[in-house]
Amino acid sequence: MSDSAARAPVRRQNTTKPAASGLLPPRFAAWFAARGWRARPHQLEVLSLFQSGQDILLIAPTGGGKTLSGFLPSLVDLAQARPEGSGVHTLYVSPLKALAIDIARNLADPVAEMDLPIRIETRTGDTPQNRRLRQKETPPDILLTTPESLALLLSQEDAPHLFRDLRSVIIDEVHALAGIKRGDLLALGLARLSVIAPQARRIGLSATIAYKPELAAYVSADGHGGGLTLLEVPDPAPPDLSIMLPEGHLPWAGHMGLAAAPDILERVKQAGLTIIFVNTRAQAELMFQDIWRINEETLPIAIHHGSLDVAQRRKVEAAMAAGKLRAVIATASLDLGIDWGAVDQVIQVGAPKGVSRLVQRVGRANHRMDETSHAILVPANRFEVLECEAARQGVAARELDGDPPRPGGLDVLAQHLLGLACAGPFHPDAAFAEITRASPYADIDRATFDAVLGFVENGGYALHVYERYQKLFRDSEGVMHLRNPRIARQYRMNIGTIVEAPMIRLRFGRGAVLGEVEEWFVTQLRAGDTFMFAGRLLRFVRLQETWAEVTDGGGGKPKVPTYQGARMPLTTGLAARVRAIMNDPAQWQAFPEPVQEWLSLQQERSVLPGKDDLLVETFPRQDLWYLVAYCFEGRNAHQTLGMLLTRRMERLGIGPLGFVATDYVIAIWSAHQPRDMDTLFSEDMMGDDLESWMAESSMLRRTFRNVAVISGLIDRQMPGAERSRRQVTVNTDLIYDVLRRHQPDHILLRATWEDAKGGLTDLGRVAGMLARVKGHVRHMELDRVSPLAVPVILDVGRERVAGQGQEDLLAEAEALVTEATGEEHPENVLAQSSLSELGFI
Amino acid sequence: MSAAAPLHIGSERLMLDPSGAVFFPSRSLLVLADLHLEKGSAAAARGRLIPPYDSRLTLDNMSLLLRHYSPKTILALGDSFHDAGGAERLAPGDQARLAAMARQTKFIWVLGNHDPALPASLPGDIHAEWADGPFRFRHEAGIGGPGECELSGHYHPKATVPVRGAAVTRPCFITDGHKRLILPAFGAYTGGLDVADPAIASLFPRGGRIFLLGQGRLFHFPIGRARARSGVAA
């Protein structure tokens, strides 16, 4: 993203002007009137701005009639029949396939009722081949698609022909795309569209968020906000939030909130339709089970999450819209877009993690702008009571949170450049000019661009041995060509920026597909094991090549599948509020007794983190040593600090094994007891070998894995795809090590670093904190975990440290086994007895 | 170089090196398995331009071993090149290094499934299998005759060992203790197969012992009788 000085001033407009309803053709005015509706002011303003040739960013709360605003100019324009054989007139891009399909359905009504000569079609990964071909021959007037499918369309040679008559590009849910890699891919696709269809205007639609100028730059055609008008519909009154605590015991830790199931069910009974939002898919499964166990009236309550089979999800959505359900337990899969009928109540179980996100979720209820929404927050543990209170204060203060969009990923650029070559030959100068008009790449320098292009061309290695395998070649005029069509096929197989763990489909026998779980979860199941999925208790039968066979039922304690990346980071604004609440006992009065008791217990067993000191607790637990530092600097700063502290502990021989950074604290576990906190936290922590230490971290390796897939270095693993021994698959960790050793300046390592930096804070800020707490480190040596530390110890999202600690533990395990089996010399004795009781193999 | 672990097989003392190699002091013989040289360029030929430095790194690691053991003979247990064309694709610099090693040390190349044939230009001797006293050196573990001791590669064994609060996965040697030893893969781009996988476990029906590769040393653990993992084994 460019700095604001370079950005053209964005025209801002508030939608308070009286509506210029004269704009509306009679057919449309009559349609609105027949429904007893009036076009909203911002809908007419979008129409008028569009007709004057402006690009538009419309920021409006949920329920503001955003979607119709986006499409109205197109419908009006298309009311006049176009010549036979015209290309696509309007392209709509949404982050969700389901949203595209739903919008197509919703548009069908006004189009039919006004008898408009408009054909509307969707194009997603699910579109059958014959329809794709037909869309090529006779393009629809309005095409609804996703960023990935757009990239696919643009990589085809006939893309300029398909989009030759394009007038409008509608980008829905911009706030959910800008700043992530899918958004980078879309921005590059939009830049391409502007070259092949310069006459088309863009309309971005967004929920209310922070960083509005950055969002405007994202939607604009020059990447700096030029030619764009920002229209804002003011937010309604902030929602009214209450905090509901379970009767009786309030758990110490855990994020599931299951104790509240009876109270939640009571609330469901009192309302028409309730959405119960939870934070993870595992939580959804567990909550669903617990509610149904006590659902004696058998109220129709359903479950909805991203791993369920699409058909199952569609069924639930349709039942909601038809008013057949009383409640849906949902994850972020219901966060975006679609109008789900009349939702009366929203219950958020577990900490809301961010103010903007909470407001959007709450907006699902009372989908009318002029009414105050109500929602209930259900904290899952004592710490979350503080978080919920902080969120309530944040919402009341109309705080907007979230991170500013970061610069575009170089791996996404590599993918796009290969797609560009698939569409046809290009000159690097023209491509550079084009991609720098996409705001995520507005500030990229030519040398970096050339390095990325070099990577696409032949891998970009200093060792020149891949000339004969190069994917692109340059002709005498410097124009880049694709070397052969096989590379285009490979590109199309690997398109997209979402890198998921390999998934395995679950089926009953050879019949119905229930959904999918991550492969690692299936591989740890034994025949007969039970687990929960799609709200049912399933028994694992066996793993076939690409799917797992299951049956209903089964006994024993069921497992619950968890998914990578299921964790939502808390925004830093909330972390600061939590610290303030903790430091102000006057505010505790508002909390229920268990929370007050918990904080008092912390005072008794350890101490509370003070305003100016740094509380560090150490204690043994389950054979390891733990160090918990209450820094309250936010997760990014804690990630960096985790790297610094573990490096120092490694040097001091403490044998760090891993750490977890939350927004409040950093917790590190080690093989040996950490001592001397003043040395550990001393200011001179920064050193020149930090980079190599961080490069070894699991975080960097994970980041590299994603970069390797997105950039096209390695093939994407298709769900359940058979892996033959002859296939060339190389573990990305090994590639990473080889590259670091032999070409540390390679562009993909740079891409990895720049990605990872998004999850870290600059060292300066951490240094500042260390200077501040110098001489104020308060070390509490405890004999067990403190009340305040419980939630973090149970947190997920851990970073592994590969240092001496792991070696020490292996040596220890070895000694232990040797002792237990009475062996002295390994070469003399054969282990005849099964050592399964020791847990080996 | 680091502490190798002695292992007595066939009345011979073998040294298991933490790099994944085996040294026979009495014969001054160094054994390596699954070098998979030129795996990088094999992927490149299929349109995946992964870094070409894998052969260089594998040769670096071989040089360290040569300096440490100064063996008379190096024996590679097959899959020394990732594919049939691998030997020709070796970069000139890497070819020269291999030639320089071959001037110091005799090479014996046992053929593997990835390299069922090797060019005659390759320095050293090429054999489908190699025998020396009771020892058989082959790529893939087979049916040993009476009194035979077998060293093989092919499976790239690795193992996961529970330690305090976690589990550690590393490449490993696996042996039944008297007549069979499978070496971990030595090549830079080689992954692994868990020793609990039926393909490996069925070769050790009476259990045995594994040696996990560590930093400068090995970690040894007994393993029980083969127990196929349900759900995976048919």
For A735-782, what is each residue's pLDDT tens digit?
A: 998 899 889 999 999 999 888 776 666 566 677 778 888 888 999 999
- Looking at the complex, report in whole angstroms how far the Cα of residue A155 sits from the nearest Cα belonging to chain B: 18
Task: Specify which of A361-370, A696-705, B162-171 reaches the highest per-range mean pLDDT.
Answer: A696-705
Q: Which of A 615-654 lie inside 8 A of B, CB atoms?
A: 622-624
Question: Rounded to a whole number, what is the distance in Å from the CA of A366 to chain B's nearest CA?
Answer: 48
User: Residues A517, A640: one domain?
Assistant: no
Q: In the predicted model, what is the mean pLDDT of residues A450-471?
A: 90
Indicate whether A255 and A223 sit together in one domain: no
For residue A717, what pLDDT band results from cuts at 50, 70 and 90?
low
Give the containing element (helix H, strand E) for A756: helix A747-757
Q: What would the mean pLDDT of B152-156 be, rounded to a whole number?
A: 95
Give B227's contacts in chain A (Cβ within 8 Å). Answer: 834, 836, 841
Every domain of chain B and the residues it spans: 5-223
CB-nearest to A738 from B51, B211, B220 is: B51
Residue A369 lies in a domain: yes
Residues A287, A284: Cα–Cα separation, whole Å: 5
Shortest Cα–Cα distance, B153 to chain A (Å): 15
**Does residue A625 sit in the same domain as residue A772?**
yes
Q: Which of A455, A465, A519, A704 to mutate to test the interface with B (most CBs of B within 10 A)?
A: A465
Mean pLDDT score of chain A: 82
Residue B97 has pLDDT above 70, yes or no: yes
Indicate whether A412 belongs to any domain: no
Q: Are A196 and A328 part of one and the same domain?
A: no
Q: What is the 3-state secondary structure (H, E, C) of chain B?
A: CCCCEEEEECCEEEEECCCCCEEECCCCEEEECCCCECHHHHHHHCCCCCCCCHHHHHHHHHHHHHHHHCCCEEEECCCCECCCCHHHHCCHHHHHHHHHHHHHCEEEEECCCCCCCCCCCCCCEEECCEEECCEEECCCCCCCCCCCEEEECCCCEEEEEEECCEEEEEEEEEECCCCEEECCCCCCCCCCEECCCHHHHCCCCCCEEEEEECCCCEEEEEECCCCCCCCCCC
Per-residue pLDDT band for A651 (boundaries 50, 70, 90) equals confident
Interface test with B, best of A487, A624, A730 (most B CBs within 10 A): A730
Q: How many CB pairs under 8 A join A and B?
A: 188
Q: Tell me, yes or no, whether A784 and A822 share the same domain.
A: no
- Hey, are the CB atoms on A624 and B164 less than 8 Å from each other? yes
Number of domains in chain A: 5
Q: Which is more confidently placed, A100 or A202? A: A202
- How far B105 CA lies from chain A's nearest CA (Å)? 26
The answer to whether B50 contacts A459, with C-beta atoms less than 8 Å apart, is yes
Q: How far apart are CA A284 and CA A305, in angstroms?
A: 8
Which of the four CATH numbers 3.40.50, 1.10.1060, 3.60.21, 3.10.450 does domain B5-223 have? 3.60.21
User: For a pLDDT cut of 70, what percent of chain A falls above it?
Assistant: 84
Q: Provide the ipTM.
A: 0.84
> What tens digit of pLDDT does each residue of A720-736 get?
444 443 445 678 888 99
A57 and A156: one domain?
A: yes
Evaluate whether residue A468 is within a structural domain. no
Residues A804 and A820 placed together within one structural domain of the fold: no
Q: How confident is the model at residue A1 (pLDDT cuts 50, 70, 90)?
A: very low
Residue A55 lies in a domain: yes
Pairwise pLDDT comparison (A727 vs A689), residue with the higher score: A689
pLDDT, chain B, mean: 88
pLDDT, tens digit (0-9, with 9 covering 90-100), for B32-86? 999 999 999 998 888 889 999 999 999 999 999 999 999 999 999 999 999 988 9
Q: What are the pLDDT digits (tens) for A147-157?
A: 999 999 999 99
In the block, which residue shows the tokens 């007994």?
Answer: B222
pLDDT tens-digit profile of A782-831?
998 888 887 777 655 556 666 777 788 788 778 777 766 655 443 333 33
Tell me the shortest Cα–Cα distance from A804 to chain B, in angstroms.
Answer: 8
Read off the pLDDT band of A566 (50, 70, 90).
Answer: very low
- Answer whether residue A111 shows pLDDT above 90: yes
Is B161 in contact with A746 (Cβ distance < 8 A)? no
- A512 with A615, same domain: the answer is no
Contact B41 A465 (CB under 8 A): yes
Check whether residue A192 and residue A336 sit in a common domain: no
- DSSP β-ladder status, A624-630 and A614-621: antiparallel
On whether any CB of chain B is under 8 Å from the CB of A486, the answer is yes
Report the residue of chain A nearest B197, measured CA to CA. Answer: A841
Closest CA to A430 of A711, A194, A185, A133: A194
pLDDT digits (tens, 9 = 90+) for A322-364: 889 999 998 877 776 566 567 888 999 887 777 877 887 887 7
What is the CB-side half-sphere exposure of residue B7 using CA atoms within 13 A?
Answer: 33
- Residue A435 covered by a domain: no
- Tell me whether strands A120-123 and A142-145 are parallel, antiparallel or unpaired: parallel
Which is nearest to A414 in space by CA: A731, A185, A704, A192? A185
Kindly report, residue by residue over A383-415, the tens digit of the pLDDT. 788 888 888 888 888 877 777 788 999 999 999
Which of A827, A828, A835, A836 is the best mutation test for B, with the most CBs of B within 10 A? A827
Confidence of residue A501 (pLDDT cuts 50, 70, 90): low
Which residue, A356, A376, A396, sits at the end of a domain?
Answer: A396
pLDDT digits (tens, 9 = 90+) for A294-305: 989 999 999 988
- DSSP notation for A249-293: ---SS-S--GGGHHHHHHHHHHSSSEEEE-SSHHHHHHHHHHHHH
Structural domain range at position A126: 4-232
Interface test with A, best of B163, B168, B232 (most A CBs within 10 A): B163
Cβ B57–A465 below 8 Å, yes or no? Answer: no
pLDDT at A729: 64
Residue where a domain stops, chosen among A361, A377, A396: A396
Residue A840 has pLDDT above 80, yes or no: no
- On whether residue A736 sits in a domain, the answer given is yes
pLDDT at residue A749, as a whole number: 94
A88 with A224, same domain: the answer is: yes
- A211 interface with B at CB cutoff 8 Å: no
Kindly tell me if the per-residue pLDDT of A139 is higher than 90: yes
Q: Is the domain of A541 the same as that of A610?
A: no
What is the CATH number for A144?
Answer: 3.40.50.300
Residue A757 to residues A683, A691, B76: CA-CA distances in angstroms?
A: 21, 12, 43
B-chain residues near A709 (CB < 8 A): none
In a domain, A772, yes or no: yes
Q: Give A14's pLDDT tier (boundaries 50, 70, 90).
A: low
Phi and psi dihedrals of B7, rounded to 5?
-140, 125
Residue A730 near chain B (CB below 8 Å): yes
Asked whether residue A799 falls in the same domain as residue A827, the answer is no
Q: Is residue A406 in a domain?
A: no
